[in-house]
Amino acid sequence: MNPGYLYLAVAIAAEVIATSALKASEGFTKTGPSLVVAAGYGVAFYFLSLVLKTVPVGVAYAIWSGVGIVLIALIGWLFMKQQLDAGAVAGIGLIVAGVLVIQLFSKSAAH
């Protein structure tokens, strides 16, 4: 397996943690959450830069952003009590489908 995909998982996890802490930072007025945001995005972009050594940028970014969107939507729903209506759920489903199509059928993802 391409090690870039392990790095991509780390980048996604760090980005999701950072994005989840944004609300708690209250516009960067709370020190603790603000440090989590800065560190999380720093780790995310560092690992994304490692990913790009072995995974095409379009594929890496599509997976990174797609999975991140889905995870943030789920965190918002589960922990922040944000509602997901039928349109949001359908859109999230399409994002998941798009990432799967890239992984399963695109020759670009294999390079």
Sign for the pseudo-dihedral over CA of 2, 104, 9, 51:
positive
Question: Crossing angle, helix 57-79 and helix 3-25, to 10 degrees?
Answer: 40
Residues in the chain: 111
The predicted model gives 65-71 an average pLDDT of 92
pLDDT digit string, tens, across residues 6-59 = 999 999 999 999 999 998 999 999 999 999 999 999 999 999 999 999 998 988
CA-closest candidate to residue 15, choices 66, 80, 53:
66
In this prediction the pTM is: 0.86
Structural contact between residues 34 and 89, judged by C-beta atoms closer than 8 angstroms: no
Structural contact between residues 39 and 13, judged by C-beta atoms closer than 8 angstroms: no
